[in-house]
Structure 1
């Protein structure tokens, strides 16, 4: 079972990886929802980290939503061969795992 601190760390690492991917993809063509998924993922990961840090009464629901967004982003970015996309997808997968454990 993940700890609150592990969840916060995974969310912050994911938001950072998504920010890098979003920045790198700005002028690139994409055949799927990358980089749009990164924008959603960044916002939800940061919200999840904040909610977890303050032990919000809504933290479990936010963790579930964050995991859903990260799963979508991992799928989208994971379809690309760019290093930034692969790193983003990996960070998203770790965040999914941690957030699902926290929400369980």
Structure 2
């Protein structure tokens, strides 16, 4: 598996986990930026996967931004005990690792 492929798959998994978290949190109160961070994370993860798939000349920059957004989202979701928030945070952390490797 190429490093591009690992990043693409991590971004896709993260976008799905964030979508699930966002959906579950829609009618719940939150004392932080969850679920708002999930919306941001979904968008940048999908963009990052697309850019990586086409080997965009901006892939490294997009990966850096994706890692930053995912880090923020992980911090927000980790503070909640909900299973969907914990799953989202883990997917975000995995995406941070792959995106950081791609951006190096």
Unaligned runs of 5+ in 2: none
Normalising by structure 2, report the TM-score.
0.98
Paired position in structure 2 for 1:16: 16
User: How many residue pairs were aligned?
Assistant: 103
Corresponding position: 1:103 with 2:71: no
Cα RMSD after superposing both structures: 0.7
CA deviations on 1:83-103 (whole Å, 9 max, x unpaired) are 000000000000000000000
Distance in 1, matches of 2:65 and 2:74, equals 14
Q: Secondary structure at the match of 1:38?
A: helix
Per-residue deviation, 1:61: 0.2
Unaligned runs of 5+ in 1: none
Corresponding position: 1:49 with 2:40: no
Tell me which stretches of 4 or more aligned residues in structure 1 moved more than 6 Å. none
Corresponding position: 1:93 with 2:99: no
Normalising by structure 1, report the TM-score.
0.98
